[in-house]
Chains A and B, each alone.
Chain A
Amino acid sequence: MSDIESDFEYEDDFEGSEDGLYESEDDSQSLVPTQEDNYLRGEYNNLEYYPWTIKPFIRYNFQDKIASVRNHIPLATVDEALILLQYKKWQPDEVINAYFDKPQELLNACGLPAIGTSNNQFETVKKFECSICCEKFRTTRVYSLTCKHKYCLDCYMRYIQSSIQSGNLIKCMSTKCSYVVPHSDIDKIIGNKEENQLLLAHARAFIDASSKFKWCPSTDCQGFTEIIKSNGYESDLDSSDISKVPIVSCVDRHEFCFNCNYENHLPCPCWIVKLWIKKCQDDSETANWIEANTHSCPKCDSSIEKNGGCNHMTCKKCSHQFCWICLGSWKEHNRDYFKCNKFKESKSIEERKNKSKLSLQRYLHFYKRFAIHESSMKGDLRTLAIIHEITRMYMEKRKNQEQNLSWNDIQFLPDAIRGLIVGRKTLKWTYCFAYYLSKSNFAQIFESNQDFLNKTVEDLSELFEKLISKDNKDNVVDIILKEKNKIINLSELIMTRKRTLVSGTILNVQQDLLRFEA
């Protein structure tokens, strides 16, 4: 498969091994960004960034530093090294200097007894009254630090659970006692299968607080991205220079804007996105939704719910074929140039008089298309999930029959699917862009590039939808393979047209050939 996103290079085992978080001396070194080659560079914006997942992040930023502390303070346990490091904000040199300079001061501040003398205990005791919950136990499990303040494990568990979120070191429950609960004991007390919950919480708080990191905004995505080298976008957040929009990607290849913390909104500059989102929220959402999401068949008036991604509709009742966007007959679309994108101002004098009505209509025109592509994207995702499942099951069966069809033969599919989604997302944002665009010849060029992209996206979406139609139920995979070249070509065409549109737009805005009206 060709370079759908040539600037992304991922190793398959990016997530890293499933080894415990405590074992830092495994082969995980290769997971961290040690060479410049590992950084990714934005497609248009010259940003250098690095997509992380939390475990390698913890290993690289926290756990890998344990060894250097223990080299200088050989008696320190892993837990003691972690506490010292967390206290000194993960600077091993500072830990070592402070330890050799004024060891007692450092240890007191960290809530540790002399190195090697920690005596933390889990015990089973008889006839115990816990002073936290005031329960009287015949026998119970208790925990104590070197200070020997004993409390029942349930109280410790509740205490840790309610304070772990902050990511800070957790101290003994006794008033004014400064002894710190070691990281590994925290996991034992709360009985979590995932290791080192405190480091996880600490890392999350660390990432939240730092302006160098942003979480991926995609639903359920756990990835986050670090800016390694900025292109200076922060200095002018209201810039119209689209080439600086800080689009980055997470480990799952979700592209998002590091400034807005919103999905990739190219070709729109950030300030337009903010205006647009605010506008969409201000105007009656329900009215907008009804306008954009529900249609009746233009011939027989049956209510129609769109369940796929393609805009070519066939009424189940009267078989009338029409375009979901303009509600015109589909025949005109095939024969003619795809005219559905342009907003033609009505010539009627009455409407000219009524400027506000026209402005609402204009807004609704663009909003409708914006929203349709958003919901079509969901339809595409459903279709694609079905295709994915069918191919998977087919391959399982094939494997058993030893037929010479391999995974490689259908690997073009994920790329094509991604191409469709990426193209649809760009397309969606072109309508926001067009809403704020002043009329000019160059705006017309923009619109025709938009048409081209629209056409290709719809073609591929329709092709996918046809594949899973009921008529093809039993031989979907054969048809997919038959259509392989067509699918590859269409998805490559989408990427080419998307690039042309975005890079052309960036250039024309830079040269002041495209202007905004806001």
Chain B
Amino acid sequence: MSLCKTRLQEERKQWRKDHPFGFFAKPVKDTDGSLNLKVWNAGIPGKSTTIWQDAVYPVTINFPDEYPSKPPKVKFPAGFYHPNVYPSGTICLSILNEEQDWRPAITLKQIVLGVQELLDSPNPESPAQEPAWKAFSKDRSLYEKKVKEQAKKYASADHN
């Protein structure tokens, strides 16, 4: 078995043993029904008392063959409204950038917690899309309105 898979199995084991409240993460199923450990679907809850609350935001996590030497790619759905998310949905976050703060020891749990943290603490220094970045820096009320609309779209089941 490839090294990447050994580690991913361990990640899965650890996740099942213990993961932060409100999150979910599971490998996708291939057409033949077997698990594909290199692609995961995960859900990231917005922190309560923030404009992101009461919703679980879906991400796909793609692990490259070189994982964990190289970081996985984490994506929201295309068009996701956030200053640090590219129009394609790719998240711009230093711990997911191999030229910046990626380290092979970073776990799945740390990744999803990092993404959750990013939701309400965008980094205006590295804008990835124009609409959300512009609104965030110039028209905060428009920004909050848009974020809340998006939260309704991804509202978590227990609030519906």
Contacts and interface: CB of A to CB of B under 8 A. Distances in A.
B10 to A, nearest CB: 4
B103 A168 contact: no
Helix, strand, loop or mixed for chain B's interface? Answer: loop
B106 to A, nearest CB: 5
B105 A162 contact: no
A158 B66 contact: yes
Interface of A is mostly: loop
A180 to B, nearest CB: 12
A174 B3 CA distance: 18
Interface residues of B, number: 18
B4 to A, nearest CB: 9
A258 to B, nearest CB: 29
B106 A175 contact: yes
Contacts of A172: 103
A45 B38 CA distance: 57
Interface stretch (A127-135, A222-230, A314-322, A405-413): A127-135
Contacts of B66: 158, 162
B26 to A, nearest CB: 19
Given A159-B104, A168-B99, A177-B103, A132 B70 contact: no
In this complex, the member of B10, B69, B101, B110 whose beta carbon has the largest number of chain A beta carbons within 10 angstroms is B69
A166 B104 contact: no
Given A166-B99, A172-B103, A133 B7 contact: yes
B105 A133 contact: no
Contacts of B6: 133-135
Given A134-B7, A168-B99, A174 B69 contact: no
A158 B7 contact: no
Contacts of A134: 6-7, 9-10
B98 interface: yes
A159 B70 CA distance: 8
Contact of A174 (B7, B98, B103): B103
Contacts of A174: 103, 105
B13 to A, nearest CB: 9
B68 interface: yes
B93 to A, nearest CB: 14
A492 B43 CA distance: 76
Interface in A111-156: 131-135, 149, 151, 155
Nearest to B9: A134
Interface of A: 131-135, 149, 151, 155, 158-159, 161-163, 166, 168, 171-177
Given A133-B3, A149-B105, 14 more contacts: A131-B105, A132-B68, A132-B104, A132-B105, A155-B69, A158-B3, A162-B70, A163-B98, A163-B99, A166-B99, A172-B103, A173-B103, A173-B105, A177-B103
